[in-house]
Amino acid sequence: MKTGRIIHQQIMQLKWHFLACLGLLMTLPIEEAIINLKDGEGFYASGLSLGIPVMAGTLLAGLIACGNVQADLDERRHIFWRSKPVGAKSFIALKYMVGLFMAFLVISAPVLFGLISSKVHGEKFDRAFVALIINFQLISLLTYSVCFFCNALVRKTAQAWLIGMAIVCFLLLVPFVLPFRFKDISGDFLLIASTVYIAITVGASLAAFIVSLFAVNHNWHLQTNLKGLLWTGATMIFLAMLLFTRQVANIKVLDEIEIDAEHAYIGSLNRISDSVLLASTFEVDTNNQKIQLVNSFSPPSEALQKQRQGIQPFYTREKDHYPEPFPRYSVVSYCIGEQLYTFRLNSYYIREKVGKNSWAPKYKKAYICSYRLAEGIYRVPVSALDLADCIDEKKAWKAGLRQIDDKLIIFIQDSFAVIQIKADGSLELVEKRINGLKGYSRHLSDREKIFKIPMMSIDGVELNERVKLTVDVNYGYHHFYSSWRSDNLFCENTHVDIDGDKISFCLLDEGGIQRYDVVKWDEEYIYCKFRDERPFTFLEQMFSLVTTDNDPWFLQDGKLYVYENQKLMVFDIRSNSIRKLGHFERLREDYRIRDIEVLDNGDILLCAETEKRIITKSPDPNRKYDDYFIRKGYLSLLKNPE
Amino acid sequence: MFKQLLWKEWRENLWKLTFGGAVSAAFVLLLFRIRLFPDATNCVSISFVQMLVLPVIYALDIFSGEMSNGTIHLLFKFPVPRWKIFISKYFISIGGFLTIFLMSGLLMELIAQGRETDTGFLLKLNASFGISALLLFTWFCPFGAQSRSEAGSLVAMFSVIIGWGIIMLWSGVSEYMWIWHFVPYQYFTLYISENSLEVNMLQLVLSTGMAALGILAVACYRFVKVRRVL
């Protein structure tokens, strides 16, 4: 029999499946293109409408495989073609190839439409989306081959498709079960070309094809008595798999204790020298992976009381002046010898009437103050510097503070001052730049281009630290300052990662994490370029969204920590692609993560609170119900994922 | 006779319960052990796949199987109204896949007890997907009632799944939000999307319920009139 005729027969057999599947997959991109055309944007489909067809393509590939096999291998027909002068192996090989070709035509159609129409329209797909498409094409190859094989054995369309899909799902989970250090379905698989997955998809497809050839050649047909054996075998393999599995990506809780709810607030964990303080009252001891709270609070001694009374206040607050300290929640500390000093920017405002019933703060005074810590937690004022001339009453208030070695950089609106911390803890002004901060420099929407951020010129600060400060000021002070949860982030944490001579930084938005490289710098600017992006998956954004306005995030030792009320995620940002290392989630009623602190040994200390509303019947005859809140605080020690 | 019909359907569809239950349990055990995602996300992933696959498994050959094997003629010769045959098929199917939903939900609760979520949350989440699956299955019935091959049924079911997805997306883009009251997926989105919580629950139950009853009547009618197309 001629090959061409067999191919023709196979194509004719599959044409209805082909057309139906093509119709299903093309509907969404064409719908989007029509909507775009109606909106006057042009006839094109973006990545938005391609996601569903690309994923559904894997299911349809399996369906085409089942339809393909069943057309010639069902009980009656396989006797018919076996009587024809064609080898079973070559017939089934042709069948496999023709079906595969048609399946790929169907699956590729929406992608090609999207690619071509976007290109004509001038839109470009990013690299991650192209990788995603390629990976799903590989999965489609796998589903096609496995379903083909299953149907060759089972000879029932529905059952073969289901068994095939179940096997494919297990195969896709295998790398996470085996010790490949796979942790992130996006960063380790979907958004990159992973050799492990290429090997699995291509290898398993090839194996399924070869076994199918033998199965059809020898007319292997899964008999009822073999089904029990197969079920038992599958169960044994599965149980063995379970036995050797480990937890992949959840962050392990080493210890958890309940604390007074009053101690669980934003910025409640503070690192002072080598120790971590909770609510400025308890020292947190985490030896042997157990949390112990050591109460550092004791009434001040008489000598200390006398000493504090004897000190003249650096500023006598006027009656209508309201104080506002910065940082409000956290502590900026520096150790000189055995003595600890803390620093705070104390500002004062008056209330100015702006309407009938409203007022706005007008800042009048600002002092940077240093304190000596005595008897553990008591602050004894040491010195203060007046920075009132940095205040511009016409501009909106914002303040920041960063300590670099023995220097303090104070930011007030668009001005900054560099302060030297002297050996006795007193402060000395090095330089003051009124309106010396250059404006916020936005990165470019064209990710191929290099963009520049004005370099901060501060004498006596190491170059790397200047680059770090410049980026943090640009993205942390200028842009994200409005975040009410993150005042301590600018003081203590950074968006920049310095790995040897490589400097990179990360930015976050609701869509995902973007990584930028600092390519070069000079006295005027630092030059940056977009490197890659790791979008938040739909699954990660479910239940609670990560929003950069309120949710703090920071970089430390090559890891990005991002948390919101109920979720903490840790990402590795030094590997080739940004990958999630772990997650901690408590989807409980009113669970709120308040603060986290990464300890020296890498473990994570997490402070959280819960607030449960209780409604009871009121004893008051005028009221039906009474309600009150039960608040609880928690301190958890988490293992930092590697 | 109705009892006998139920018994027949139960026996014929037992493999689906066994297969679906075993695969669901296997994935619950595996995913909740390796914890690639948080528990609630695992629950959503598994329930979502169940929502798409279980109604398909049940609807795949429940009507077309009888036609392709020719047993539909035998079935119609029984002294029982045809609508009862249809109803017996419908009830056994929904009973079957809702049992799998219940079982997997309980298994999830058992494994993840007190771990990351409040007690009962995973079960509730699972149940919301179960309701969506029930509605989806009901929508499959009119399209599968006269289908003569499994592959044809499968294509029809994919059309329903993708079709509702397209309608949901399009109505969202075009801001015809009233359409969402008829979308089968609306129930599970109640839990995973904060915006959907504004939906009036009573209105939603009434609209989807009425639509499901209407579509069920159409499916029943198509099944009763099946001889005309055979």
Nearest to A543 among B29, B45, B192 (CB): B192
Of B35, B115, B129, which to mutate for an interface test with A (greatest number of A Cβ within 10 Å)? B35
Tens of pLDDT, residues B8-44: 889 988 988 988 899 899 999 989 988 888 888 899 9
Give the end-to-end CA distance of chain A in Å, rounded to a whole number.
60
Please give the single-letter amino acid code of residue A275: S
The predicted pLDDT at position A613 comes to 80
Top pLDDT among B140 and A327 is at B140
Distance from A588 to chain B by nearest Cα, in Å?
5
Helix (H, G, I), strand (E, B) or coil at A86: coil
Any CB–CB contact under 8 A between B225 and chain A? no
- A-facing residues of B in 93-132 (CB < 8 A) are 116-118, 121
DSSP string, A450-482: -EEEEPP--TTS-HHHHHHHHHHIIIIITTSTT
Average pLDDT over residues B53-76: 84
Phi first, then psi: give them for residue B177, nearest 5 degrees: -70, -20
- pLDDT at res. B227: 64
Q: How far is CA A173 from CA A44, A140, A501, A537, B60, in A?
A: 35, 16, 37, 17, 27
Using DSSP's 3-state secondary structure scheme, residue A587 falls into strand
| Alpha helical stretches, state H, A155-219 | 157-177, 195-217
Q: What is the predicted ipTM?
A: 0.82
CB contact under 8 A, B150 and A60: no
Q: What number of C-beta contacts closer than 8 Å exist between A and B? A: 126
Write down the pLDDT at residue B176.
Answer: 81
Contact criterion met (CB < 8 Å) for A21 and B118: no
Minimal Cβ distance to A27: which of B34, B38, B162: B162
Domain segments of chain A: what residues? 3-248, 298-438, 439-557
Q: What is the rounded (10 degree) CA torsion for A79, A80, A81, A83?
A: 80
CA distance A195 to chain B (A): 20
State both tokens at A190: 């979907």
Instruction: Flag if A162 and B19 touch (Cβ within 8 Å).
Output: yes
Q: How many residues does chain A have?
A: 642
Asked if the Cβ–Cβ distance from A542 to B192 is below 8 Å, we say yes
HEC per residue, B107-163: HHHHHCCCCCECCCHHHHHHHHHHHHHHHHHHHHHHHHCCCCCHHHHHHHHHHHHHH
3-state secondary structure string across A105-164: HHHHHHHHHHHHHHHHHCCCCCHHHHHHHHHHHHHHHHHHHHHHHHHHHHCCHHHHHHHH
In B, minimum Cα distance to A27 occurs at B166
- Residues A398 and B56: their CA atoms lie apart, in Å, by 58
Q: What is the DSSP annotation of A222-244?
A: --HHHHHHHHHHHHHHHHHHHHH
Whether B40 sits inside 8 A of A161 (CB atoms) is: no
Question: Sign of the C-alpha dihedral, residues A428, A431, A432, A437?
Answer: negative
- Which amino acid is located at A123 in the chain? E
Handedness of CA A609, A613, A616, A618 (dihedral sign): positive
Separation between Cα atoms, residue B101 and residue B58, nearest integer Å: 13
The answer, for B151 touching chain A at a CB cutoff of 8 Å, is yes
- Whether residue A438 contacts residue A453, with contact meaning beta carbons closer than 8 Å, is answered with no
Q: In Å, how far is A363's CA from the nearest CA of chain B?
A: 39
> Which residues in A lie closer than 8 A to residue B162 (C-beta atoms)?
24, 27-28, 52, 56
Contact B39/A at CB under 8 A: yes
Note whether B68 contacts A: Cβ–Cβ < 8 A. no
- Chain mean pLDDT for chain A: 84
The per-residue pLDDT for range A192-225, each reduced to its tens digit, is 878 888 999 999 999 999 999 888 888 877 765 6
Contact A28 B166 (CB under 8 A): yes
Backbone conformation region of residue A440, classed left if phi is above 0, alpha if psi is from -120 to 50, else beta: beta
Between vectors from CA A503 to CA A417 and to CA A183, what angle results, nearest 5°?
A: 125
Higher pLDDT, B140 or A245: B140
Chain B nearest C-alpha distance from A638 (Å): 14
The nearest CA of chain B is from the CA of A21 a distance in Å of 7
CB of B53 within 8 Å of a chain A CB? The answer is yes
pTM of the model: 0.83
The tens digit of pLDDT for each residue in B112-139 reads 988 888 888 899 889 999 999 999 999 9
Q: Quote the DSSP letter at residue A494.
A: B
For residues A249 and B36, the answer to whether their CB atoms sit within 8 Å is yes
Which of A238, A538, A542, A248 lies closest to B35 in space, CA to CA?
A: A248
